[in-house]
Amino acid sequence: MSKSLKALLAAGTLVLLAGPAFAAGDADKGAKVFKKCAACHAVGENARNKVGPELNDVFGRTAGGLDDYKYSKAMAKAGEEGLVWTTGTISEYLADPRGFVPKNKMAFAGLKKDDDVANVLAYLATFSKDAPADTAADAAPAEEPEAKMASAAEESAAPATAGSSTREGGVHGLGRVATAEEVAAWDIDVRPDGAGLPDGRGTVADGEMIFTEQCAVCHGDFGEGVGRWPVLAGGQDTLTRERPEKTVGSYWPYLSTVYDYVRRAMPFGNARSLSDDDVYALTAYVLYLNDVVTEEDFELSKDNFTEIRLPNEEAFIDDNRLEEPHYADKGEPCMTDCKPDPVTVVMRARILDVTPGSVDDDEAAGAGGVD
Amino acid sequence: MGDSARLDRRRLLTAGLAAGGAALATRAIGAGSEPAITEIQDWNRYLGEGVQSRPYGIPSEFEANVVRRDVEWLTASTESSVNFTPLQDLDGIITPNGLCFERHHAGIAEIDPAQQRLMINGLVDTPLVFTMEDLKRFPRENRIYFLECAANSGMEWRGSQLNGCQYTHGMVHCVMYTGVPLKTILQEAGIKTNAKWVMPEGADSSAMTRSIPLDKALDDCLVAFKMNGEALRPEQGYPLRLVVPGWEGNMWVKWLRRLEVGDMPWHQREETAKYTDLLANGKARRFTWVMDVKSVITSPSPQAPVTHGKGPLVISGLAWSGKGRIKRVDVTTDGGRNWKTARIDGPSLPKALHRFYLDIDWDGSDLLLQSRAIDEAGFVQPTKNELRLARGENSIYHNNGIQTWHVKADGAVENVEVS
């Protein structure tokens, strides 16, 4: 449990914290903010547990308190130690989920704006019997000191700049020389030939622990994917089928891409939080999930990294669209009597109408995607 | 998405048709005078709001349904997702900034321009760091380009699925960018002789990266800080984005913070796992950068039904090509048996949207509308079946096939495919 949470519990001030700073949110605005949460949490009529627990009557609920939801150990423990969800504790949690209950499994970085927190609280309160009255949507907005400061700042709203200077050399002499430390901080990309790999190592077993803790919430314990989150494993021999499963094992050409991407952008909502060793371990575990390596004590490191080849590497070809018949001939297109018979409709969108707002779209999920 | 943005399409359509019917009926009576004219209206008597009541102007309340919309089932979260430009409501070739479709991989990064830096490193003589002020001291240019997501129309590979050109074709927009040629910035750092590739990187929490051939980087790419004259919108990469004219939108890295120069491609996630085109035989094309010649009729279309009955009808649409200008657009009303050349109106600029019109006298019978664009390189927009024959149905990306709209006698319009 974090220090701030301990302090809160010790002081017994949780209820008092439900003061003006968190009150007076706007439930309608909260409904919009809640879209950030809705991928994992349901609330309202017929809400069920999804990736995260359902949130009806969350006010007054003990942390980790739903019997039919599998919480992280950290969250269950926080509840055993007395954490109850109130306006105050939910606010703290939403502002910094991993700081407030370290090692809990919610893969969400937190809501940066106090208004967003207050509005989500107001929205959630509409689904909670025990929510304090001043959290509700129709409470008059409290005047916040911050708002005053903001309007004062608006008077001189010219954006700050970082200045500019000239230097010797170059065509225009603009910019300054990047320091080695700066380049190292941002240049973390890795190529298939191993260029850019940092020192480090990690085993399949290490990777499994990290994966279960930080990745499985979206990708599933075995990389099978939860809901529409990416599937990481399996799918071999599906690439020519109607529904190809494009995973690291079935599709990705290079292992370096896994390392590079996890290191720069995962976990989703908490990027750059893994150590280089963690990333080696996770990469090893993804290899294991895809049967590219088979031993749990397999250790991936900078030294053996480029020895690993992914099965689908040879399937990638360069752009040859211009050889397709419709582009190759470049002929003048037909203008009259181009089809012998009157044209008939052979397919209609309404057969599978998944257009937003259409009758069936709540239940339907169409084919394809932007992925 | 707010309630106003989730207007029920059917309701809209029905309401539109009903309103059209009522208007026709009024006309038919003929003798009656309209209260809109005979009665003094509020706006004709009372004062309106003064200047500065809207320090940043917004559209009329009567245009509240002209908004970007998303398709919730498409993606697992709204932070890694897409919404769509309401093409059916727009005209001309410029997309208003607030209506340009969004595609984020980790939500909208909110960056203080004072904290913004652009770094150049790799195979350069001098690795450099620029502030926004530094960038605004380079000679700059203004250019108009379309930006199309490679996955635009991607949901239609297996057949008609979404009723509305906003959804089938709305991952495209076209604005005027102000920025510094990428070539200028690369030359400031000095490119080493073995350099062949440039990799832009974003500052958001997806740290988006793509490999771009040096030839393209030195040709027409821009490092842009304005769109349509004002600062980039946060959702379009404020304060800095890359412009890669004619090439797939994913490469136009937003929140641009770094350019690395190298001697081979990096094979990043967005050019291996994603944005590669799986073919029927299990092979996959990579580095399919150019957006091919394409067009769509934006009105009439499912979200823009014909509400006025027979008589004069303006058929309007957009055409574009990553290979340059559009030379010609043909339109058919009988599903592709006979074609007429449409009129391109407004500027015809390379790698920009083109607006076309065909003005017809509608006899009230069913129409099967299609448009077919031809670019200045001589490429003709293919049919969807030609694409499927060559690629199968699993490509997701680069679907530039000819779109068919079925206009029915009552003016309703549906997304269909034809024989």
The CATH number of residue B340's host domain is: 2.60.40.650
* Mean of all residue pLDDT scores within chain B: 93
* Phi and psi angles of residue B84, each rounded to the nearest 5 degrees, phi first: -130, 140
What is the CA A56 to chain-centroid distance, rounded?
Answer: 23
Mean pLDDT on A49-64: 87
Over the stretch B228-246, which tens digit does the pLDDT of each residue have? 999 999 999 999 999 999 9
Is residue A139 scored above 80 in pLDDT? no
Of B260, B285, B310, which residue is a domain's last?
Answer: B285
Of B82, B137, B415, which has the smallest distance from its Cβ to A370's Cβ? B82
Q: Indicate if B255 and B396 belong to the same structural domain.
A: no
For residue A277, the model assigns a pLDDT of: 98
Which of A71-75, A130-134, A205-209 shows the lowest per-residue confidence on average (mean pLDDT)?
A130-134
pLDDT band at A369 (very low <50, low <70, confident <90, very high): low
Q: Indicate if A124 and A189 belong to the same structural domain.
A: no
User: H helices within B30-149, ranges in order?
Assistant: 35-38, 42-45, 132-135
Instruction: Of A63-72, A99-108, B359-368, give the range with the top mean pLDDT.
Output: B359-368
- CA dist A162 and A179 (Å) reads 17
Taking residue B268's Cβ as centre, other Cβ atoms within 10 Å add up to 26
Instruction: Confirm whether B338 is domain-assigned.
Output: yes
Instruction: Confirm whether A261 is domain-assigned.
Output: yes
Token duo for residue B65: 């349904």
Taking residue B33's Cβ as centre, other Cβ atoms within 10 Å add up to 8
> Measured between CA atoms, how close is B404 to chain A, in angstroms?
10
Q: Indicate if A225 and A286 belong to the same structural domain.
A: yes
User: H helices within B220-370, ranges in order?
Assistant: none
Instruction: Confirm whether A283 is domain-assigned.
Output: yes
Please, which residues bridge with residue B385 across strands? none
Range 279-338 of A in CB contact (< 8 A) with B = 315-321, 324-327, 330-331, 333-338
* Residue where the block lists tokens 């380049």: A183
pLDDT band at A151 (very low <50, low <70, confident <90, very high): very low
Say what percent of chain A tops pLDDT 90: 49
Q: Which helix (H) or strand (E) holds A145?
A: helix A145-154
Mean pLDDT on A85-97: 88
Instruction: Of A13-22, A53-62, B5-14, B410-419, give the range with the top mean pLDDT.
Output: B410-419
Is residue A68 scored above 90 in pLDDT? no
* Mean of all residue pLDDT scores within chain A: 84
Range 87-116 of A in CB contact (< 8 A) with B = 109
Is residue B61 scored above 70 in pLDDT? yes
For residue A135, the model assigns a pLDDT of: 56
Instruction: Confirm whether A223 is domain-assigned.
Output: yes
Number of domains in chain B: 2
Q: Which helix (H) or strand (E) holds B353?
A: none
For residue A273, the model assigns a pLDDT of: 95
Q: Tell me, what CATH number does A304's domain have?
A: 1.10.760.10
- CB-CB neighbors (< 8 A) of B282 in chain A: 239-240, 315
Of A135, A168, A200, which residue is a domain's last?
Answer: A135
Instruction: Confirm whether A155 is domain-assigned.
Output: no
Mean pLDDT on B329-354: 98
- Residues spanned by the domain of A264: 183-315
Token duo for residue A39: 């991928």
Is residue A159 scored above 60 in pLDDT? yes
**Cβ–Cβ contact A228 with B under 8 A:** yes
Instruction: Confirm whether B47 is domain-assigned.
Output: no
Q: Indicate if B130 and B197 belong to the same structural domain.
A: yes
Of A256, A342, A348, which has the smallest distance from its Cβ to B160's Cβ? A348
**Cβ–Cβ contact B413 with A under 8 A:** no
Q: Tell me, what CATH number does B108's domain have?
A: 3.90.420.10
Instruction: Confirm whether A324 is domain-assigned.
Output: no
Is-contact A332 B373, C-beta < 8 A?
no
Q: Indicate if B396 and B261 belong to the same structural domain.
A: no
Q: Indicate if A207 and A303 belong to the same structural domain.
A: yes
Of B263, B285, B307, which residue is a domain's last?
Answer: B285
pLDDT higher for A304 or B5?
A304
Provide CB contacts within 8 A for B66, sequence distance 6+.
B59, B86, B89, B90, B99
User: H helices within A215-360, ranges in order?
Assistant: 216-219, 255-265, 276-289, 325-328
Instruction: Confirm whether A363 is domain-assigned.
Output: no
- Residues spanned by the domain of B118: 103-285
Give the torsion through C-alpha atoms of B86, B88, B94, B95, to 10 deg.
-10
**Cβ–Cβ contact B232 with A under 8 A:** no
Mean pLDDT on A109-120: 85
- CA dist B247 and B150 (Å) reads 8
Of A72, A106, A135, which residue is a domain's last?
Answer: A135
Range 271-330 of B in CB contact (< 8 A) with A = 272-274, 276, 278, 280-290, 292, 302, 330
* Residue where the block lists tokens 């999930």: A289
Token duo for residue B273: 């796992």
Taking residue B345's Cβ as centre, other Cβ atoms within 10 Å add up to 14
Instruction: Confirm whether A120 is domain-assigned.
Output: yes
pLDDT band at A145 (very low <50, low <70, confident <90, very high): very low
Is residue B403 scored above 80 in pLDDT? yes
Mean pLDDT on B253-278: 98
Instruction: Confirm whether B143 is domain-assigned.
Output: yes
* Residue where the block lists tokens 């809109």: B36
- CB-CB neighbors (< 8 A) of B289 in chain A: 319
Query: Which of B158, B163, B253 to mutate to test binding with chain A, by most A CBs within 10 Å of its CB?
Result: B163
